[in-house]
Amino acid sequence: MVNRVKRRVSCFPKATYFKPREIPLCCLEISNLSIEELEAIRLCDLLQMEQNEAADKMGVSRKTLWSDLQNARQKVADALVNGKAIEISGGEYVNSGECKVNFLCKECDHLWEPEFDHNRPTCCPSCGSNLIFRVGGDGRGKRLIKNNYCCPKKKENSSNISEKDKKSVNDT
């Protein structure tokens, strides 16, 4: 058996789930897209890098990148055509340190940036609370906007936000 090379990933997704509108997640089949498969799509399709350059950036061979890219495209196409949800998580990767993500604890207002080679934190390192938010949105519908937390669909939770900020929430 060949050892699988850990891919270098330089950017993490802002959202970790995508699903068809108005269908509860519990009623959908879920297709899992790994972090490194998403990185292959980001580099080749979004940033339009040549495959050799993208493979070098991820620290793998061109053949390995091609395999990851084909797997990712297959999963995305299957989800779009067959109405499946897409979960972005897991994989064998190393954060290259280029992507900076900050988290804020709702309980103690502690703001921190996790170590670059760690996964998403599950609790605040200061107080241990699990009420943590990724600054700028955590991909789960929760956003931190000017010291207030809200869900864009539940406007009643955002009573302290100005009309201008509410508009920017609805536009995202």
Q: Measured between alpha carbons, how far is 132 from 30 in angstroms, rounded to an integer?
A: 25
Count how many residues are written for the chain.
172
The rounded Cα 143 to chain-centroid distance in angstroms is: 14
This prediction's pTM: 0.62
Q: Is 142 exposed, middle or buried (0-12, 13-18, 19+ CB in 10 A)?
A: middle
The CATH architecture one would assign to domain 7-95 is Orthogonal Bundle (1.10)
Q: Measured between alpha carbons, how far is 125 from 50 in angstroms, rounded to an integer?
A: 40
Burial of 55-64, coded b for 16+ CB within 10 Å and e otherwise, reads bebbbbeeeb
- Asked if 42 and 95 touch (Cβ cutoff 8 Å), the reply is no
What pLDDT tens digit does each residue of the chain (172 aa) get?
A: 567 778 888 887 777 889 998 888 888 999 999 999 999 999 999 999 999 999 999 999 999 999 999 999 999 999 999 999 999 988 888 877 666 777 888 889 898 887 765 667 788 989 999 888 777 654 444 445 555 544 444 444 434 434 444 444 344 4
Domain boundary assignment for the chain = 7-95, 103-171
Phi, psi (degrees; rounded to nearest 5) at 108: -115, 5
